[in-house]
Structure 1
Amino acid sequence: MANSFQVKPGKKAKLADRDPADTSSFKSEEHARTKLAEDIVVIDKLQDRLYAEGRRSLLVVLQGMDTAGKDGTIRGVFNQTGPLGVTVTAFRQPSEEERAHDFLWRAHLAAPRRGTIGIFNRSHYEDVLVVKVRKIAPGKEIDKRYDQINAFENILTQNGTTILKFMLHISKKEQRERLQERLDDPEKHWKFNPGDLDDRKLWDDYQDAYETMLERCSTDDAPWRVIPADHKWARNAAIAGVVRETLEAMDPQYPKVTWDPKSFTVE
């Protein structure tokens, strides 16, 4: 599973060739849900060991079009993980303080400390996606950012942070249905942002921006994975499987104490 959906470094990433509704990694929905339930239990146990070890960290980056399921992924994959060692950072429009620094400043501030799992709900990649599509920064400046992002992620990996990057790949048809659902259900009105319709009009531009991002920033240190996101159950199960396998490969260990437990008595 860990190598599934991966964009190979240096290769083209045609999103049109990737089916957002692909469920072929699982025998059935029931199989996927069963596997997800098993994986999140193991993730919780491995996260506890990672926290106790306190030497390395895991960064999970979630990017995708509106309604692709970033929030749903966090709830579905990490809700049972101990909150002490997990942080979630939502990257919204930069504040005045953030705009006064380089574009990676806020990402570095939010990078997970040793022993923890950090989750970016959107991320530093907004600065080569929405900033590019909306022409918020000059094209030449944006073009430099791909290499700067790669350098930033290399610094993190060289200092003990494993990076998992997931692009949640949703179809335009499925997005329409999810946006309409938010309009139809009063309990979901709070989720609807009229600005989402403006971004929807720029769908093709965003697809082009995502393809460039995937091609230029899928590296050996931090490859991108394109996760089919039309089916929420398949999306969550796929990501949980990669997270579990990655943590198992990291194999964090509880630290060994230097004293003899038998030397103490609790009265």
Structure 2
Amino acid sequence: MTIELQRTEEQYLALQATAVDRELERAAAGLPPPTVSTKAAAKFLGVHFDTLGEWRRRSPPLGPPFQKGAGQVGGGLNQHVRYLYSDLVEWQQARIGKSAKERRLQNDLDLAQQRVRELELELSLRHAKEELTKLQKKLGRIANLATLQDVAVVSHDWALVGDRIAGHVLAVDDATLAQALAEGNVWEGTVEGALAQPWINTESRQPYQDAFVGVLTSTQHAIEAARSRQRASDLEERLGGGAVVADPVRPFAKDP
């Protein structure tokens, strides 16, 4: 089953980066909403996206305060973490010392942090390249769903409208994708997982449903064919292994 794509993975990644920049510009200008997504917060703070996640998982959490809101998709899996822009600014400013001693210590700390950031950026760049390769491979798999791994193992990015799936980020229309990116409303999951969630309508869901059923059907046929070959192989082994073929004997034959 082939799903018609509306854009390439490179175009999607460029749109995503533009959406993050626009989100920060609006927040800096005081335009609603007052919160920004985790990707925008990471760019503002100059840290990697995964670093914010590690900070949040600490007990107690590190980094600036954050807000978490659960949606319906995945029974709470679609928990959008967002940051108040004012909290991000305040958190950065609070790290700058006020007294002479604090400023001197802060300078030493800044030097150390600068080196840490440089190392972190080098690591992030390497990590980003690896993630880009994985993402391009992952996004490209939606164009041709052919195996169980494609529909049940590989995760994809899905554009949401509210708490409902509109479709794959490479297959939805431009307006839907722009809205999902602007709202940070992109959910990650397998095709199997996506089909278990609410969609905006049946028409949007149907191509993925057809692809999923097609994969299951072809897999079932392949398994049945393998079983038939196994049965034939077992029968050949039984007949050829210990069977003894005797010479034919005519009943009631006279002795020579």
- Provide TM-score, normalisation by structure 2: 0.26
Between 1 and 2, higher relative CO (CA 8 Å, sep ≥ 6) is seen in: 1
Larger radius of gyration: 2
TM-score by length of 1: 0.25
Larger helix proportion, structure 1 or 2? 2
